[in-house]
Amino acid sequence: MSSDLLSRVHTSLRSKIMDPSTTARLLRERLSEKGVISIGTSGFGSVGYPKTFPRALADLAAEEDLKLIVLTGASAYAMDDYMAEKGVVDRRYPYQNNPKMRKLINEGVVNFMDYHLGEWPSLVENGWLYRFMPEGLDVAVVEAAKVLEDGFIPTGSVGAVPAWVELAKYVIIEVNLDVSEAVEGIHDIYRPKHGEPIPIRRVSDRIGAPKVKVPPGKILGIVESHGIDHGGEPAEPGDVERRIAENLVNFLLEEVSRGRLPHNLYPLESGVGVVNDAVFKNLREAGFKGLTAWTEVVQDSLLNLYEEGVMDAMSCTSLMLTPGNLERFYAGEYDRSRIILRPQDVTNNWEVIRRLRVIAVNTAVEFDIYGNVNSTHILGSKIINGIGGSADFSRNAYLSIFIAPSTRKGGRISTVVPMVSHVDTIDHDVDVIITEQGVCDLRGLSPRERAELIIERCAHPDFRDALWSYYKRALGRGGHIPHMLEEAFSFHIRLLRSGSMK
């Protein structure tokens, strides 16, 4: 074993250091009566997932015809990739972003169910998977920067790790030697307690411990690991993305001018991607100061605002930074005192989101003329990634905003349709819809008023006439939400038949 690894493991636990294959076989011996093994792993936003042991376990499972039930906080890209190749996964929860795993899910080979990330750890704790895990979670497999006498320091994400460690029979810790020990000090580990409020009143509040605690007797093995998780270099926004960002920032400025938002806004939550990067750039250019973020993932755009003095504090469950910014972060070039990594059942907790009056900005695959949002499925059937935390935030936010370009695939697909082919966020939880065409503030509007505004302001001109035709003919049928069921999916049917919604 390397001296670097020894330096990161407390002396009392060094006897538990072993190679991944030996650890996998030891776990198999402990669970010899099982044909299906359940594992809960670290990982969120493809950051902080275990790199080494899951591969060894997948190899062993393929060799012995075992099946695995895999629980993560959210995504674990390379781990999913290898396990999908080996064909050893029976069930996968609650989110994924890997094409190979997605293919198996859409083919029905892997059983998958999408869950809201904020409630996911407590659902497992409450026994929601009793049919498949009657004895509970077998093993937690986590990535750490350092192993202490009574716990460990996670790496660049927290996710569901505290819950898995608490619930599992055994714990296996991967010490990633490529992650700087300087990550110590940014974590705030707190598990919500039934019947008790989470005592957070400001984004910068710290209420937990800087480590994940684990009884030493639970630790089955400690293995060495390598690899730096990071986000990709952000793409340069095009005209459409810039117009969406401008529309959003202008809407926020208008809300400030009318006294419905303070000058420093309320805490921001934002998904990832090029549009969101453009939004944060525009916030800086618009002169906003004293901003805060209560969100799932921190990317470069947020860190840049913090460095420039625009953002005062950020709370998240995953740091998905590009390699250069990650290196500077670990080297201490940023003041990290107000950047906090928490468990997902705190960052996505409905009580806290509501108390802090979060402004939630999330991306839609499509939305219909009444304001229902599809975030996860293509043509109603094929899942993309999952709902993630978007509904945790949109249901409880002070302002729930959804953004999307008005068309996709070179203009062949309209993002605005008569009826969404899958519903993730219902119209009751959507306050504002924004495309490059304009802003639809839906607050207080009836379904008929919503339809007219969305068609006129958010739909692309190429599809506006068809949407008006549908809506006006539906009005002739009457009803609180006028629809023609035989034509509600006509846009999708045209796409299936001809490759275009036109």
**Residue-wise pLDDT tens digits, 244-263:** 999 999 999 999 999 999 99
Q: Is 296 annotated as catalytic? A: yes
Does residue 389 surpass a pLDDT of 80?
yes
Specify the pTM.
Answer: 0.95
Instruction: Provide the mean pLDDT of the chain.
Output: 95
Name residue, tokens 């497992």: 124
Residue 124: CB atoms within 10 Å: 23
- Kindly indicate the confidence band of residue 34, based on its pLDDT and cuts at 50, 70 and 90: very high
From the candidates 241, 296, 366, 436, give the one annotated as an active-site residue. 296
Name residue, tokens 């994400």: 157
CA-based torsion, 445, 447, 453, 458: positive or negative: positive
178 by DSSP, 3-state: which?
coil
SS (H, E, C) 355-398: HHCCEEEEECCEEECCCCEECCEECCCEECCCCCCHHHHHHHCC
**What distances in angstroms separate CA 207 from CA 203, 204, 210, 274, 337, one per listed residue?**
11, 10, 10, 33, 14
- Kindly indicate the confidence band of residue 39, based on its pLDDT and cuts at 50, 70 and 90: very high
Question: In the prediction, which pLDDT does 303 show?
Answer: 86
Name the percent of the chain lying above pLDDT 90: 87
Burial tier of 73 (Cβ tally within 10 Å: 0-12, 13-18, 19+) = buried
Q: What is the DSSP letter of 414?
A: E
Does residue 272 surpass a pLDDT of 90?
no
**467-502: pLDDT as tens digits:** 999 999 999 999 999 999 999 999 999 999 999 999
Run of H or E residues at 493? helix 490-498
The phi, psi pair for 42, rounded to 5°, reads: -75, 170
Does residue 100 surpass a pLDDT of 90?
yes
Question: In the prediction, which pLDDT does 325 show?
Answer: 83
- Our separate counts of H helices and E strands in the chain read 17, 26
- Domains of the chain, earliest start first: 3-225 (3.40.1080.10), 239-298+358-498 (3.40.1080.20)
Do 462 and 411 meet the contact criterion of CB atoms below 8 Å apart? yes
